[in-house]
Structure 1
């Protein structure tokens, strides 16, 4: 049975997204250590102790649910700086979510993140012909919510008591989406951010 989302490398000036592989594990652990991202209680960033299980889950989602996880690489330095994935894939309805995204602290809110989103959305809308792309985040993760809104995504609503966190605390999930008709404006917005502020931190 053919996959809707085939493994693909997406490459721009600032970032390269490559299919996640086992050999990326140590480099990803080092990236997560920049800022000790796993200590943020409302995120699911792997720690040195959980990176192997995180990798198992990501690759299992790829094999059984049609997801496509990526390793994020700084195109200028070659450093691994994070991970993201296409997930919650509904091929029959041409919908997917861009999620499980995290970056080393040093590259957060830089052109790397902006261009990564541009590459992922371009492939989703222009190649896969999706009709909608979702983004989901913890209600308490205000930084993530603001970043998703800056992309041009619209807030669809809040899924209350949506998940049980690793600490047993219930998670309310905020759902955003970009639909097919909105993609041209979102693309123009992302391209403008990269053109006018290509190296600095992006708002």
Structure 2
């Protein structure tokens, strides 16, 4: 089919497609409940379990790509999450097993309710949570809240360009690579080039359908997937 002619204004300049838009609600601390995981707003009551699962119970490589204070005691982990909690552009959440034990963190970042955009980041999964159904469900619940509950237009994922597992996770979940911001940050005494990914509201229905199909019990009899998430998207 022929490509659609670009819109032009009265000066002959090309302009973007029209959007009917009203300001959306701000992201605020929220509890999100799934079948395999529960996300709750960060609070000190989670620190003991979280430190045991994500620091002493996980390899140190879990923290390579996160700019945290030293984690040789629970205080460093608490300072990191308290700092996110104090940031008006962030909402840190704690990932809990159904029994309430804390096994990871993830945060809404770069909150922009005026334009309907938010990032997911500051993700730290305990070794026991990585590559599990609960890990994927947590990301699905956060996306669903942003798009379906709040009506946002854009959901972002960013990572150190050297962080191959994070890049793979973004692509597996349905994010689209947008480019690399070179020399974007300095942390832990090293350079960070940042890879940007996103899902937009027009892409979300297909992404949601694939995630819901993959999470469905009939796709995981006995805890083993019948079809991969990539196969559902295809």
Length-normalised TM-score, structure 1: 0.88
CA distance in structure 2 between the partners assigned to 1:127 and 1:38 by the alignment? 35
Deviation at 1:189, TM superposition (A): 1.1
Choose between structure 1 and 2 for higher RCO, CA contacts under 8 A separated by at least 6 residues: 1
The 3-state SS of whatever aligns with 2:205 is helix
Q: 1:40 to 1:122 in 2, by over 3 A?
A: closer
Matches within 5 A, 1:146-185: 146-166=168-188, 168-185=189-206
Deviation at 1:24, TM superposition (A): 1.4
Higher helix content, 1 or 2: 1
Deviations 1:52-81 (A, max 9, x none): 344334334434424211010012x43211
Is 1:133 the counterpart of 2:155? The answer is yes
Matches within 5 A, 1:1-203: 4-32=26-54, 33-38=56-61, 41-44=64-67, 48-49=71-72, 51-75=74-98, 77-166=99-188, 168-195=189-216, 196-197=219-220, 199-200=223-224
Aligned length: 199
The 3-state SS of whatever aligns with 1:14 is coil
Aligned partners of 2:42 and 2:85 also within 8 Å: no
Deviations 1:56-107 (A, max 9, x none): 34334434424211010012x4321100010111121111100001111122
Length-normalised TM-score, structure 2: 0.77
CA distance in structure 1 between the partners assigned to 2:139 and 2:170 by the alignment? 10
Deviation at 1:200, TM superposition (A): 3.6
Greater C-alpha Rg: 2
Gaps of 5+ in 2: 1-24, 230-234
CA distance in structure 1 between the partners assigned to 2:140 and 2:91 by the alignment? 16
Aligned partners of 1:139 and 1:174 also within 8 Å: yes
Aligned partners of 1:19 and 1:70 also within 8 Å: yes
Please tell me the root mean square deviation across aligned C-alpha atoms, in Å. Answer: 2.2
Deviation at 1:48, TM superposition (A): 3.5
